[in-house]
Structure 1
Amino acid sequence: MPSRARSALVLTSTAALAVTLAAGAATAAPVAAGSTAAACVDTSATLPYEESFLARTEAQQLIAGGGFDDTVAAFREALCGVGSAGAAATLVKEQGAALWRLAVDRVQGRVDTGGWLSAGDDRPLYWARLAMVADLRRWTPDFELTAAQRQQLIDTMDRVLRGQDDIRFPAADRITRTLVTGFDPFTLNRDVRQANPSGASALALDGVTVKGPNGPIRIEAALFPVRWRDFGQGMVEKALLPHFRPGKKQVDVFATTSQGRVGRIDIEHYNGAWRAGFGDNEAVCYRGIAPIPAGIPTVTPQPQWTVSTHPITAMVKAGTGPFPVYDNTQVTEVPGDTPIDPVTTTCPAAPSPGTVRADGPTPGSQARAGGGGNYLSNEIAYRATLLRDAVGLDAPGGHIHTPVLQGLDASKPQELTNPTFEANRAAINAQIRDLVLVAAGTVND
């Protein structure tokens, strides 16, 4: 197995190649593993809310615990050898792609990065990505870099290091192409040690091929941030659209996933257009109808509700693991003629009152919560299924809410993992995998 130092040097070599190929680049000198000094990064500059959590000891321990501390240091040093905005763009794409593949290989047991956290932990990738984004934000190159160019570099890193550019399905016949999405950790203000089992499941499934009842099932996966602004800018649709359009590599089944309720798994039957009332990883709230950006295929007029096309009955009855699985048909609605309140981004946003219905929405009603609530879990399900309908994709698809990942002791705030926490993640991962395979196994029945 490669060592942690070896993993870091692999990425350093990738960075050097990127710098060499880009126009105007200066070749970066080799970087010793573990080096942290980088004169071109102003570490005194103030970081925005989400990245400010990097100052916490736990965040740095989670990077090191995954064996990614040398990787982050190598990226920081590589920035100092970049001589142009074009070279920086190449560096970000190359290093971002390399770290995503390294993270997937680590979770799936193909590489040992040398960290002390378990291979299945999703948190090292989250914090390493955040650290690299912070370095881009505080980078002081010796050439002119506009604010727009810097933001484009950050956006590219955000996308590439979540695997959104790495979704590659084979075009062969009789392969069930299955797309799974997960999320970053969130509510860091409550507990900076948070993990997200949906993200861990996505890493564990990316690129996996499994023998199914009707032929091979190929799974590709990607992650998404817990941030309203990315969704409003169309990140979900831009990532999914190339794989939802007709063609030989069009998906046959998809599942968006997120962390949901304690002790249970919910297949969310209905998704609502309403977003409301809870702060994201940037401490921003949003209350109003989910905006669909210009240029994105959609249904007009924008529907209040979308519906899962998962084989829910089969998934509920499949006996996939220790957590009970439910067909969650609950929604919250208001009458269709209710005036729509002005949009607000102030936290805390005002509550969204309405009538809770156990058996789905009333025809003509307005959404105030889908089965998955009115946070980003509901919204990724809404956006994915709305896009499905807009492009005419005939495929099983919808949202799976994982159980809450429990096990960390609140009375031991320095404890980053323990056997109970690890066992709970493994159990959730296994059951989500089996549920995805049940859905995929119904294709071509």
Structure 2
Amino acid sequence: MAITKKVHVLAPAVLALTLLSPTVAQAAPAAQCFTTNAKLTVEEQRLTATMPAGGPAVGPTLVTQAGFDPLVGDLTTKLCATKSTSAARQLVTAAGDNLWQTAVDRAQGRRPGMGTLDTHDDRPLYWARLQMSKALRQWQPRFALSAADRTALLTALDHGSRGLNSDKLPTGGGVKKIMVSGFDPFELDGTGVRISNPAGASALQLDGLTISTPTGPAVVQAVTFPVVWGYFDQGIVEAAYGTAIKDTARRPDMIMTISQGRPDQFDIERWAGGWRGGFPDNNNVGATGPVPAAAGWPQPTDSFIETTLPYQQMQATPTGSYKVNFDLLFCVWSDSSHPGTGQQVCRTDQPKPGEVAAQGGGGDYLSNESMYRSNRVRIGLGATAVRGGHLHTPVLGEPAGSTALTDAAFEARRTAIADQTVALVTAAVSGLS
């Protein structure tokens, strides 16, 4: 996701749910509790996006091919029978948690026969989540539901479906604890609606994984983050990593944010920078300026934060066919008294006191910010013994041609990247003292 390093309305109510799944489309009574007039996000509006040549909508088709339709249908059907805000909260939280765990189980081979799509495919999770959030926005309950309560329900659904409610790290000693994060697909406009994110695919492979190392076992917990500035402003990174770090019984020994970066190589980033460069997110919104603080979390004001990952071990260990680079690059503003103006000066030594970040090694987009925020809260909580940093995967690309949703070469590349990511996390765990 190192972008800078490249240096609704539907027809009748029944049709509104046809986009969610064939199963839901058949449930005519359920359609009576939904409206087509709700304001949708840009991401949710892409549920109707087709290939340039036309045909069925891409996102819902991927959901169907992965066998996720029943999960979406179950939520939409039960919403219409829900009689209170508290019951709705229980319903959407359980639906989010179930979507995440089903995606993990399917990815790791525990749900054989579920759909026809490659099990390493991260896209059905993304699109099923959007189908669920769209239904929740369009839901017209039998009782009064405030805008704040609906927002809270959407947040509960989102967090659950990203693994943020999961608690797979064990208590006590004897087992190393690792927390990692991936990302949703991004750059989705145009033919990019077919895009997959190998970082998200890797997170599904890593969640709950027990890794055997020469120094003993390690257990991994994974989450995925949205490619949306607003979610980061609300503190979703701190909610994930900060909450885990504050739990002293389950505190991770290492945290690693993961995203898609440059073609043909992995990058272990040395520096995260506290600046966002404005590139549009998945809702086509940009944000520029210093990375804001997240309310309620102790956070230092360092402009740069350096990785503490055991990068030498990660580079020295054979992990796969892709090159593994230790990226030294960072950029500062030429006039530190007026950051955001003037020229950027990029170097590979180390930042000097008083210099203001313009870019970290991973650029100035949300991947860089995930490293910056997770390690800022780690330092703010005094967890300096916890190792932390960021890994950029190679770019996956798209299926060949302009009409295929997948192909063998596309799937092979994603599997190779995800497998090497797992191997690099394993190498990093082996390098912990």
Q: Same fold (TM over 0.5)?
A: yes
Specify the SS of the correspondent of 1:192.
helix
Query: Which whole-Å deviations, capped at 9, do the CAs of 1:7-46 have from their partners, x for residues lacking one?
Result: xxxxxxxxxxxxxxxxxxxxxxxx9787454221223544
* Partner amino acid, structure 1, of 2:349: D
**Aligned 8 A contact 1:93 1:160 in 2:** yes
CA distance in 1, matches of 2:207, 2:47: 27
* 2:396 is equivalent to residue 397 of structure 1: no
Look up the SS of the partner of 1:322 in the other structure: coil
In structure 2, the partner of 1:65 is 65
**Residues 36-435 of structure 1: pairs in structure 2 closer than 5 A:** 36-37=27-28, 38-56=31-49, 57-112=57-112, 114-190=114-190, 191-245=192-246, 247-299=248-300, 302-335=301-334, 337-341=336-340, 353-393=343-383, 394-409=385-400, 412-435=401-424
C-alpha spacing 1:269/1:371, structure 2 compared with 1 (3 Å)? same
After TM superposition, give the deviation of residue 246 of structure 1 in Å.
5.9
Cα deviation for residue 168 of structure 1 reads 2.7
CA distance in structure 1 between the aligned counterparts of 2:347 and 2:37, rounded to whole angstroms: 51
Q: By how many angstroms is 1:392 displaced?
A: 1.8
Q: Kindly tell me: are residues 138 and 246 of structure 1, through their superposed partners in 2, closer, same or farther at Cα, counting changes over 3 Å?
A: closer
SS in 1 for 2:88: helix
Alignment deviations for residues 370-390 of structure 1 (CA, whole Å, 9 cap, x no partner): 000000000000011111211
Residues 45-102 of structure 1: per-residue CA shift (max 9 Å, x gap): 4422111001121111111111112221221111000001111001001111112111
| 1:406 to partner: Cα distance | 2.6
Amino acid at match of 1:68: F
Equivalent-residue separation in structure 2 for 1:422 and 1:32 (angstroms):
28
Q: Note closer, same or farther for the CA distance 1:45–1:294 as it changes in structure 2 (3 Å cut).
A: closer
Aligned partners of 1:337 and 1:399: how far apart in 2?
A: 25
**Take 1:221 and 1:293, find their aligned partners in 2: how far apart are those partners?**
21
Could you say which residue in structure 1 is the equivalent of 2:4? none
In the aligned structure 2, how far is the partner of 1:338 from the partner of 1:35?
62
User: What is the distance in 2 between the residues matched to 1:68 and 1:438?
Assistant: 33
What letter matches 1:272 in structure 2? G
Output the CA distance in 1 between the equivalents of 2:27 and 2:305: 49
CA distance in 1, matches of 2:24, 2:359: 49
Question: Could you tell me whether the CA contact under 8 Å between 2:176 and 2:217 is conserved in 1?
Answer: yes
Partners of 1:234 and 1:113 in 2: how far apart? Answer: 37
Give the number of aligned pairs: 401
Counterpart amino acid of 2:327? Answer: N
Query: How far apart are residue 413 of structure 1 and its match?
Result: 2.5
What is the CA deviation profile of residues 95-125 of structure 1, one whole-angstrom value per residue up to 9, with x for unaligned ones?
1111211111100000136322111100001
2:418 aligned partner, one-letter code: N
What are the Cα deviations for residues 186-244 of structure 1, in whole angstroms up to 9, with x where unaligned? Answer: 11114100111000000111001121111111011001100001111111101111221
**Residue in 2 aligned with 1:18?**
none
Identify which range, 40-49 or 261-270, moves more after superposition: 40-49
- What is the match of residue 14 of structure 1? none
Change (3 A) 1:60 1:231: same
Provide the TM-score with structure 1 as the length reference.
0.87
Distance in 2, matches of 1:53 and 1:124, equals 14
SS in 1 for 2:331: strand
Report if the CA contact (8 A) 2:269-2:389 is conserved.
yes
Contact 2:71 2:95 in 1 (8 A): no
Contact 1:271 1:379 in 2 (8 A): yes
Q: Return the TM-score normalized by structure 2.
A: 0.89
Letter in 2 for 1:240: Y
Deviation at 1:442, TM superposition (A): 2.0
Deviation at 1:310, TM superposition (A): 0.4
Give the distance between the partners of 1:318 and 1:426, measured in 2 at CA: 19
Structure with higher RCO (Cα < 8 A, 6+ apart): 2
Contact 1:34-1:69 within 8 A present in 2 as well: no
Q: Secondary structure at the match of 2:402?
A: coil
Letter in 2 for 1:297: P
- 1:276/1:352 contact within 8 Å kept: no
- Between 1:38-47 and 1:115-124, the stretch displaced more is 38-47
Quick one: structure 1 residues 70 and 260, their matched pair in 2 at CA, closer, same or farther if it must change by over 3 Å? same
Contact 1:270 1:370 in 2 (8 A): yes
Residues 135-171 of structure 1: CA deviation (Å, up to 9, x unaligned):
0001011111111111110011111100011033111
The 1:329/1:352 distance shift into structure 2, 3 A limit, reads farther
Report the AA paired with residue 225 of structure 1. P
Q: Give the secondary-structure state (helix, strand or coil) at the position aligned to 2:293.
A: coil
Q: Distance in 2 between matches of 1:423 and 1:106?
A: 17
Residues 300-344 of structure 1 deviation map (CA, whole Å, 9 limit, x = unaligned): xx1110010001112112121111011101011124633145xxx
SS of the residue aligned with 1:362? coil
Computed over aligned residues only, the root mean square deviation of the Cα atoms, in angstroms, reads 1.7
Distance between the aligned counterparts of 2:60 and 2:246, measured in 1? 41
Larger deviation: 64-73 or 41-50?
41-50
